[in-house]
Amino acid sequence: MGELRSKITGTGSEPASKVVTNLELEGLVDTSDEWISTRTGIKERRVTTGEQASELAAGAAKKAIKAAGITAKDIDLVVVGTVTPDMVFPSTACFVAASVGVRAGVPAFDVSAACSGFIYALDIADKYVKGGAAKNVLVIGVDFFSRIIDWSDRGTCVLFGDGAGAVVLSATRGAKTGLLSSHIHSDGRKWETLYAPSHPHPNPFEKKTDHSKTNVKMNGSDTFKLAVRTMTNAAREVIELNGLKPADIKLLIPHQANVRIMKATQQRLGLSDDQVFSNIEKYGNTSAASIPIALDEACAGGLIKKGDVIILVAFGGGLTWASAAIRW
Ligand SMILES: CC(C)(COP(=O)(O)OP(=O)(O)OC[C@H]1O[C@@H](n2cnc3c(N)ncnc32)[C@H](O)[C@@H]1OP(=O)(O)O)[C@@H](O)C(=O)NCCC(=O)NCCS
């Protein structure tokens, strides 16, 4: 029969509809297309004009379900990586499950790991599949940073965008294909590098509470250095554990945070330009959505064929970091 494993059988993505160019940001903060392009590789990003994160996530999920050749009734678990849910509760996963027509009773929950959220969700889904508790899992990454960034802070507002990406992870047996391994990590001691505080209403017994907004706060240069070091180490971990060499890798799909972070990671891993996927110029950093959107576009562009080895690697607030190897 062979060992029970998990395999991606369908992908889908849905970036937010409104395109905001660097030029348009010049009208909002003291910045320039030249600064943003050369420092980050970003030319434009997508921003919500009213659609909810769960709506985009459901759109991406429907495409992934169709591509997998199944129906929503076949889904038996929904896991969503996000730090920008529509509501405190219900979870985004509950909204998506209802919207795409997943059967009532199927478990659905969100995972909070910032930009590493999609690989965290994939790692959890894989364990359900390998343990025999789920056959078809909807794994989603979605984030709407446009709602939690300070649009007057040029150091952060130019970096992020809104979007959703999804995969169907299905049970398979036999040859060593599908998810080869995934690895998730955190270090809460470095939380202040990158965070977004939450300021709920104070109860009547609390002392003075901060009523400022929930804005992303980031130490840019510390984040940059940590991202390069951590993504390189995380990619090395999964590459070495699977006995792979740089030449075995068809495509590295890194979290799309900054083209210079991706380039430095690529160089340290000894990979060529055509082994690294980038679409950051169109979307900016979409947090948990960046990897599943990139994966969907790489598949649609014919860059991934049966048997190819793909490496996913991410880094984000928490701190969190994660990697995965997939034989397609
Ligand atoms: C944010 C980032 C692009 C800044 O690039 P950098 O080369 O490190 O630039 P610096 O921070 O040294 O800033 C240089 C100058 O540009 C200014 N600057 C910052 N944002 C700017 C903007 N949007 N437009 C114009 N100037 C800007 C700074 O104020 C600074 O000016 P100063 O020298 O007068 O103080 C970079 O640090 C980065 O990408 N960090 C990681 C961010 C990230 O990936 N976060 C998510 C991880 S999941």
Domain ranges of the chain: 4-175, 179-199+209-327
Report the alpha-carbon distance of residue 209 to residue 230 in Å, rounded: 35
Query: Within a 10 A sphere around the Cβ of 237, how many other Cβ atoms?
Result: 18
- Whether the predicted pLDDT of 211 surpasses 70: no
Residue 126 has phi, psi (to 5 degrees) of -60, -40
Tens-digit pLDDT profile for residues 23-73: 999 999 999 999 999 999 999 999 999 999 999 999 999 999 999 999 999
Rounded to 10°, the helix 259-269/33-40 angle is 20
Protein residues whose CB sits closer than 6 Å to any atom of ligand 1: 31, 35-36, 39-40, 115, 154-155, 158, 194, 218, 220-221, 223-224, 227, 257-258, 261, 285, 315-316
Choose the CATH number for 179-199+209-327 among 3.40.47.10, 3.40.50.300, 3.40.640.10, 3.40.50.620: 3.40.47.10
pLDDT band at 210 (very low <50, low <70, confident <90, very high): low
CATH no. for 4-175: 3.40.47.10
Instruction: Choose the residue to mutate in 186, 258, 278, 287 for probing ligand 1, maximizing ligand atoms within 8 Å of C-beta.
Output: 258
Among the listed residues 136, 255, 258, 299, the single catalytic one is 255
Structural element, H or E, at residue 294: helix 290-300
What's the first-to-final CA gap in the chain, in angstroms? 20
CA 111 – CA 190 distance, rounded (Å): 19
Cβ-Cβ contacts under 8 Å for 145 (sequence gap 6 or more): 84, 160, 161, 162, 216, 285, 286, 287
For the question of whether the overall pTM of this predicted structure is more than 0.85, the answer is: yes
CA distances from 18 to 43, 125, 165, 293 (A): 14, 31, 17, 16
Contact 163, 53 (CB under 8 A): no
